């Protein structure tokens, strides 16, 4: 992949909690896509109930917005 992907292993869920993407009830991460620009600003964040809900064209459209 031509872009970095974050692994949030240790401490368990620290980054997910910071972004509001940790499910405290079951101790697991929520399914989500977060796009952060080069300045570290969150430009897009969306959670999904299942991977099937993720629409790749929508994500690509958000990435295209960063090119402008």
- Does residue 45 sit within a domain? yes
Q: Considering the entire predicted model, what is its pTM?
A: 0.77
Q: What is the pLDDT of residues 27-45, one digit of tens each?
A: 888 999 999 998 999 999 9
- Does residue 41 sit within a domain? yes
- Does residue 8 sit within a domain? no
Tell me how long the chain is. 68
**CA 20 distance to own-chain centroid:** 10
The residue range of the domain holding 34 is: 14-67
- Does residue 3 sit within a domain? no
- Residue 11: asked if its preceding bond is cis (omega within 30°), the reply is yes
Confidence of residue 68 (pLDDT cuts 50, 70, 90): confident
- Does residue 9 sit within a domain? no
Q: Which two tokens stand for residue 66?
A: 């960063």
Confidence of residue 1 (pLDDT cuts 50, 70, 90): low
Q: Which two tokens stand for residue 41?
A: 């600003």
Q: What's the structural domain count of the chain?
A: 1
- Does residue 50 sit within a domain? yes
């Amino acid at each position: 992949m031509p872009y970095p992907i974050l692994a949030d292993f240790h401490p368990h869920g620290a980054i997910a909690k910071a972004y509001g993407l940790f499910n405290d009830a079951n101790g697991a991460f929520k399914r989500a896509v977060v796009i952060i620009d080069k300045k570290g600003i969150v430009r897009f964040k969306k959670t999904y109930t299942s991977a099937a809900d993720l629409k790749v064209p929508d994500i690509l459209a958000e990435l295209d917005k960063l090119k402008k």
